[in-house]
């Protein structure tokens, strides 16, 4: 099919690919001189936290099978692929000596991707804090910020000759939520003051890594990947609108504004000060953040956030959580992914992109993750042994229609990456929900098979549209 015949053509050079993370895909968690990270430790100490007791040791075995996996990427139409460096694999103690085996592994992956005409994108941090760094405070600690910057510099030195696109963090709000508010990442605290300090240090670490990158005069771009969840009010009543604004401020703008604009929203500063949670800020920190903004924004989109004004006065003695300012509500007639428990609202991706155009100087951006997790996909195997995941193809199509519309209206969208290339381990949910273009059969030595969606994605990329 020629591009002129497509209903939804995309521009030449558009990035088609997928995203992954080291802990979720590599496996070999205790091999190759890798140091432990917080997931290795949490599984060792509390395996009951993990779905069906499946931990991070083996995951999807990309560490051993990267060559054949990259061939499958090519077969599924990838012209780009975003993966993360495991900080504790590269620098086992989080700071100090570099692991030569890890350097060789990542060099091999990068070179194999390039050999197959797949542009490698590298993300530096994807939820996998080295245990040694967590033991001195994790993102609460200034020392960890400085160690992270040294780690980033080492990555730039080792791989910067071939990597054009770098990202400092993936979804920086998630460690804040998981580690310090809602208990789904180790150490599973509920402490808003620590959450604010950790969030500030993530922003600062990102800016300081960008500062280092710029000093090295490398030719690529460096950005951040943020999961943006649009906050929709129940109604246009002022209190519902204010509730949505507060949710957006805490979950989206807290990272988006300093990353792109170089400043925190005044309203957020006032709110944090008013509640008594002002973080410790050293001299020069705000200037560093101001002067080292991103040149490329990755956007992860999965679902909307629908909120309303509080129904009841919060318990003033209870731990402070963002929900002090709003309640969630379920919109009547919403479309759902029943397996993940998330609403499917395709127009949300358009609303996010238009917000970037209108309020963030239309910075170059791309969809860095978008995907649908489904449980027990073996139900959908056809006679040819292929998983017939038409629901995933429909999910992609309906989101891409809105991406296309945003681009027609002038948004600088450079690509679309799905989550994910192959079924992988999902933190506490292990392999409960499958997201891949390629299935991984755990009981058959991690056998890979391209799904119907993977074949469709190949056509999407080859035709540069649909």
Give whole-number Cα distances, 75 to 19, 120, 385, 413, 433, in Å. Answer: 16, 16, 17, 24, 23
Catalytic residue among 26, 140, 346, 369: 369
Token pair listed for 309:
């004004």
**Per-position b or e across 378-417, b if 16+ CB within 10 A of its CB:** eebeeeeebbbbeebbebbeebbbbbbbbbeeebbbbbbb
Q: How many CA atoms are closer than 13 Å to the CA of 319, on its beta-carbon side?
A: 12
Cβ-contact 88, 37 below 8 angstroms: yes
Active-site residue identified among 171, 202, 346, 377: 171
| Residue 346, burial from CB neighbour count under 10 angstroms (0-12, 13-18, 19+) | buried
- The three-state secondary structure class of 221 is strand
Let me know if 242 is a catalytic residue: no
Contact 6, 465 (CB under 8 A): yes
Please confirm, yes or no, whether 75 is among the known catalytic residues: no
Q: How many angstroms separate the CA atoms of 82 and 223, rounded?
A: 13
Asked if 87 and 132 touch (Cβ cutoff 8 Å), the reply is no
- H helices present in 360-451, as ranges: 390-408
Burial of 148 (0-12, 13-18, 19+ CB in 10 A): buried
Which residues does the annotation mark as catalytic? 171, 369
């Amino acid at each position: 099919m020629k591009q002129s015949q497509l209903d939804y053509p995309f521009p030449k050079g558009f990035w088609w690919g997928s995203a992954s993370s080291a802990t979720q895909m590599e496996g070999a968690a205790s091999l190759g001189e890798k140091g432990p990270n917080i997931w290795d430790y949490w599984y060792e100490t509390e395996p009951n936290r993990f779905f069906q007791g499946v931990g991070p040791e083996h995951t999807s075995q990309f560490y051993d099978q990267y060559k054949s996996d990259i061939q499958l990427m090519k077969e599924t139409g990838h012209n780009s692929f975003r993966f993360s460096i495991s900080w504790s694999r590269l620098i086992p103690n989080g700071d100090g000596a570099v692991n030569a085996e890890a350097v060789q592994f990542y060099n091999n992956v990068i070179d194999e991707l390039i050999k197959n005409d797949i542009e490698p994108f590298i993300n530096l941090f994807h939820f996998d804090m080295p245990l040694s760094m967590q033991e001195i405070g994790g993102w609460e600690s200034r020392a960890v910020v400085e160690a992270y910057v040294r780690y980033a510099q080492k990555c730039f030195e080792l791989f910067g000759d071939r990597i054009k696109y770098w990202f400092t963090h993936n979804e920086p709000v998630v460690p804040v939520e998981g580690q310090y508010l809602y208990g789904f990442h180790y150490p599973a605290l509920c402490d808003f003051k620590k959450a604010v300090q950790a969030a500030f240090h993530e922003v600062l670490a990102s800016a300081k890594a960008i500062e280092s990158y710029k000093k090295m005069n490398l030719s690529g771009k460096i950005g951040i990947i943020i999961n943006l969840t649009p906050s929709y009010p129940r109604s246009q009543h002022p209190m519902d609108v204010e509730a949505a604004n507060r949710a957006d401020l805490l979950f989206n703008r807290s990272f988006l504004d300093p990353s792109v604009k170089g400043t925190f929203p005044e309203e957020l500063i006032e709110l944090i000060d008013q509640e008594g949670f002002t973080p410790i800020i050293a001299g020069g920190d705000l200037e560093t953040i101001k002067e080292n903004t991103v040149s490329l924004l990755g956007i992860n989109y999965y679902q909307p956030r629908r909120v309303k004004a509080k129904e009841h006065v919060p318990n003033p003695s209870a731990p402070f959580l963002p929900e002090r300012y709003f309640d969630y509500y379920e919109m009547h007639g919403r479309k759902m992914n029943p397996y993940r428990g998330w609403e499917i609202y395709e127009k949300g991706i358009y609303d996010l992109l238009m917000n970037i155009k209108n309020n963030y100087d239309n910075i170059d951006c791309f969809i860095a993750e978008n995907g649908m997790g489904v449980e027990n996909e073996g139900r959908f195997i056809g006679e040819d042994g292929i998983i017939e995941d038409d629901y995933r193809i429909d999910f992609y199509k309906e989101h891409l229609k809105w991406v296309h519309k945003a681009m027609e209206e002038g948004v600088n969208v450079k690509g679309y990456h799905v989550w994910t290339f192959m079924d992988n381990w999902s933190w506490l949910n292990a392999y409960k929900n499958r997201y891949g273009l390629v299935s991984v059969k755990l009981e058959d030595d991690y056998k890979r098979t391209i799904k119907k969606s993977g074949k469709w994605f190949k056509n999407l990329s080859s035709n540069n549209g649909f």
